[in-house]
């Protein structure tokens, strides 16, 4: 082999994660595993394992009997797994029925990027903030390696990751919404804005940690239009003109989410320079979700401000799956008759049909991802 041919060989086979956007993209990445970090939007059982299990009718449409998801069925992370031909992720905190051969889920409902000085029993904020999820991942990776080195015959390695595959896995992030919700509850908008650089830097630190431990492929969701969650309407009456937009979304909350997302995207762009071997995709979940909310009739969905599960009449709200009292009578927060047409499942979380709609837009690339590639090619750096 001549030196010229040898050089070409090395270029093609030793640097597989780079290609020009003007060239024909390579084949699918064949990710062997997914490691997810997030909140209830991607929690597949963590908060239920750590605290009180999520009750029915949550999970009523999930393929298995027990889903432990804040939804009637599948979340976007489930559709990501399906798209990559991988099984649904087991929660890291779940001790029963877990299989980590193809990844693990460190997300828990109520998680934030920044640690919050309050307990889950006050406002539902999880103690497993992003930095704790990263600590759990580090321990998980180290213990996996140690179990292989010890060659303990009592350990079922068929349910463990292959240590060499951590570098080839996809690392997904879907977190930040609760940082905003805490801010709306405890801060002025100016105070919130002042926290954004620190919040996005903490997410960047998490990505750097994984990169330093061998991870190379990252899929990062921005935060959705939090002002469009129907929970905002439950106790809001006689608000001033301009408080809600034409779709009944809270204008100022969405403006704050947009500002947060801009800073997040700028930080992701900077990360690409700081981590020269990383392939980092920024996913505009905000645009996808707002696009659905603003076109529900055209897309075959019900009113996006109507909750599918729970009871809400005037100022009486009974949460999905809970028993309460309305007009002196016991009322149970049941599910609607047609969840497949619902955008909102319970006022905070999206229904499976809406998650599927958003997943179809974002996982196939195009204008909703930067760079505009499908998730199946998210291992290639641009």
Catalytic residue set: 40, 346, 349
Mean pLDDT of the chain: 92
Q: Return the percentage of the chain with pLDDT > 70, whole number.
A: 93
Task: Answer yes or no: is pLDDT of 288 > 50.
Answer: yes
The per-residue pLDDT for 359 is: 98
pLDDT, tens digit (0-9, with 9 covering 90-100), for 321-346: 999 998 889 999 999 999 999 999 99
pLDDT at 25: 57
Does residue 107 contact residue 174 with C-beta atoms inside 8 Å? yes
pLDDT tens, position by position, 352-378: 999 999 999 999 989 999 999 999 999
Neighbours of 76 (CB within 10 A): 26
Q: Where are the domains of the chain?
A: 30-299+351-372
Could you tell me which residue, 260 or 65, shows the higher pLDDT? 260
Neighbours of 188 (CB within 10 A): 10
Structure tokens, 68? 């432990």
Alpha-helical (H) ranges within 100-250 are: 120-123, 130-150, 177-186, 189-212
Give the architecture (CATH level 2) of 30-299+351-372.
3-Layer(aba) Sandwich (3.40)
Per-residue pLDDT band at 156 (split at 50, 70, 90): confident
Query: What mean pLDDT is predicted for residues 33-60?
Result: 97
Region 20-27: mean pLDDT is 57
The answer to whether residue 5 scores a pLDDT higher than 90 is no
Strand ranges inside the chain, DSSP E: 34-38, 103-105, 170-174, 217-221, 279-283, 311-313, 316-318, 323-326, 329-332, 369-370
**Average pLDDT in the 39-62 region?**
96
pLDDT of res. 312: 87
The predicted model gives 134-160 an average pLDDT of 92
Section 43-58 average pLDDT: 96
Q: Work out the angle between the directed axes of helices 285-293 and 352-362 (0-180°, nearest 10).
A: 130
Instruction: Read off the pLDDT band of 313 (50, 70, 90).
Output: confident
Tens digit of each residue's pLDDT (9 = 90 or more) over 71-100: 999 999 999 999 999 999 999 999 888 999
Looking at residue 97, its pLDDT comes to 85
The pTM for the full model equals 0.92
- pLDDT, residue 327, reads 87
Give the per-residue pLDDT at 26: 67
Token duo for residue 126: 């999880």
């Amino acid at each position: 082999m001549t030196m010229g041919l040898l050089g070409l060989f090395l270029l093609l086979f030793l640097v597989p994660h780079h290609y020009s956007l003007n060239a024909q993209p390579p084949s699918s990445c064949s990710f062997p595993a997914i490691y997810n970090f997030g909140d209830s939007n991607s929690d597949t059982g963590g908060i239920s394992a750590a605290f009180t299990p999520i009750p029915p009718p949550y999970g009523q449409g999930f393929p298995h009997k027990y889903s432990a998801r804040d939804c009637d069925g599948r979340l976007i992370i489930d559709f990501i797994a399906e798209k990559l031909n991988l099984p649904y992720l087991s929660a890291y905190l779940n001790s029963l029925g877990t299989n980590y051969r193809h990844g693990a889920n460190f997300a828990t409902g109520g998680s934030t990027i920044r640690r919050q000085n309050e307990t889950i029993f006050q406002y539902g904020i999880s103690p497993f903030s992003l930095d704790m999820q990263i600590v759990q991942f580090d321990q998980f990776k180290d213990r996996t390696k140690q179990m292989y080195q010890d060659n303990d015959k009592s350990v079922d390695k068929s349910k463990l990751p292959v240590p060499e595959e951590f570098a080839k896995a996809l690392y997904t992030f879907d977190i930040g919404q609760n940082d905003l919700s805490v801010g709306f509850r405890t801060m002025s908008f100016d105070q919130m804005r002042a926290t954004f650089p620190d919040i996005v830097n903490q997410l960047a630190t998490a990505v750097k940690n994984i990169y330093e431990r061998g991870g190379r492929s990252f899929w990062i969701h921005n935060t959705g239009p939090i002002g469009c969650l129907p929970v905002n309407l439950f106790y809001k009456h006689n608000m001033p003109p301009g408080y809600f937009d034409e779709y009944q979304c809270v204008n100022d909350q969405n403006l704050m989410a947009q500002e947060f997302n801009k800073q997040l995207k700028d930080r992701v762009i900077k990360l690409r320079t700081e981590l020269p071997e990383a392939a980092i995709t920024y996913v505009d979940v905000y645009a996808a979700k707002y696009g659905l909310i603003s076109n529900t009739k055209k897309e075959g969905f019900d009113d996006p401000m109507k909750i599918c599960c729970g009871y809400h009449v005037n100022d009486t709200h009974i949460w999905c799956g809970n028993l309460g009292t309305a007009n002196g009578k016991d009322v149970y927060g049941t599910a609607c008759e047609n969840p497949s047409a619902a955008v909102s499942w319970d006022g905070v979380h999206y229904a499976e049909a809406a998650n599927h709609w958003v997943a179809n837009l974002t996982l196939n690339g195009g204008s909703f991802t930067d760079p505009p590639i499908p998730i199946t090619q998210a291992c290639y750096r641009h």
